């Protein structure tokens, strides 16, 4: 079962905000909305003319575990550019293999490339083509994330697409 909100230690941290004024330290305002197994999270920067940045997020767990093992984050650059996919997995991974997001058993998957690792997690990313978004929107059955652990054993993590289409629609609204 997918948790309704992601664990704070897994957030991708890919949203950048202007530096706060040295005279006032004000926290940005965060709003969230849940769409079945996906969440839209928005942050309004607390600086004058603050920008709003939003992303669609889902944390994944393995059967029998309560802690998330991975997290998918999707956002779009300012100006409505292409969607970008970010995937976080545990740090104990085989880096050359990257991570694949597959919508079903027939899908070879969209490959991502690792960008960085810290002691607790690794982040990979890829551009998210419209054709993959279309598949994700239409999917009613679970998909999967695939990667290899440091011992080169296959790891497969289920991904729910319930609520994905509604969450992406909410992300695309101004």
Instruction: Please give the average per-residue pLDDT across 109-122, as a whole number.
Output: 96
Question: What tens digit of pLDDT does each residue of 55-75 get?
Answer: 999 999 988 988 999 999 999
Output phi, psi for 85, to 5 deg: -105, 130
Question: What tens digit of pLDDT does each residue of 136-167 get?
Answer: 999 999 999 999 999 999 999 999 999 999 99
Q: What are the residue ranges of helices labelled H in the chain?
A: 130-138, 164-172
Q: What average pLDDT does the structure give for the chain?
A: 84
DSSP E strand stretches across 17-171 = 29-35, 38-44, 52-60, 70-76, 83-89, 99-102, 110-118, 121-128, 143-148, 154-159
Instruction: Please give the average per-residue pLDDT across 88-115, as a whole number.
Output: 95
pLDDT of amino acid 25: 54
Structure token pair of residue 19: 């530096």
pLDDT of amino acid 28: 72
C-alpha span between 134 and 87 (Å, rounded): 19
pLDDT band for position 82 (50/70/90)?
confident
For domain 57-162, which CATH number applies: 2.40.50.140, 3.30.2020.10, 3.40.120.10, 2.60.40.1880? 2.60.40.1880
Instruction: Please give the average per-residue pLDDT across 110-135, as a whole number.
Output: 96
Question: What tens digit of pLDDT does each residue of 8-62 get?
Answer: 333 344 333 233 334 455 567 889 999 999 999 999 877 666 778 899 999 999 8
Is the pTM of the predicted complex or chain greater than 0.75? yes
Q: What percent of the chain has pLDDT over 90?
A: 66
Q: Where are the domains of the chain?
A: 57-162
């Amino acid at each position: 079962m997918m948790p309704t909100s992601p664990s704070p230690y897994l957030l991708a941290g890919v949203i950048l905000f202007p530096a706060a004024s040295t005279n006032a330290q004000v926290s940005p305002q965060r709003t969230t909305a849940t769409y079945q197994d996906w969440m839209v999270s928005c942050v309004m920067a607390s600086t004058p003319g603050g920008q709003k940045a939003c992303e669609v997020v889902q944390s994944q767990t393995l059967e029998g575990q309560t802690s998330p093992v991975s997290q998918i984050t999707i956002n779009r650059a300012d100006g409505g550019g292409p969607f970008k996919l970010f995937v976080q997995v545990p740090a104990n991974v085989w880096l050359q293999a990257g991570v694949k997001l597959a919508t079903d058993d027939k899908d070879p998957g969209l490959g991502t490339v690792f960008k960085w690792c810290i002691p607790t997690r690794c982040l990979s990313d890829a551009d998210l083509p419209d054709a993959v978004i279309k598949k994700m929107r239409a999917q009613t059955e679970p998909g999967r994330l695939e990667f290899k652990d440091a011992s080169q054993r296959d790891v497969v993590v289920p991904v729910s697409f319930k609520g994905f289409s509604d969450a992406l629609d909410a992300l695309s609204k101004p």
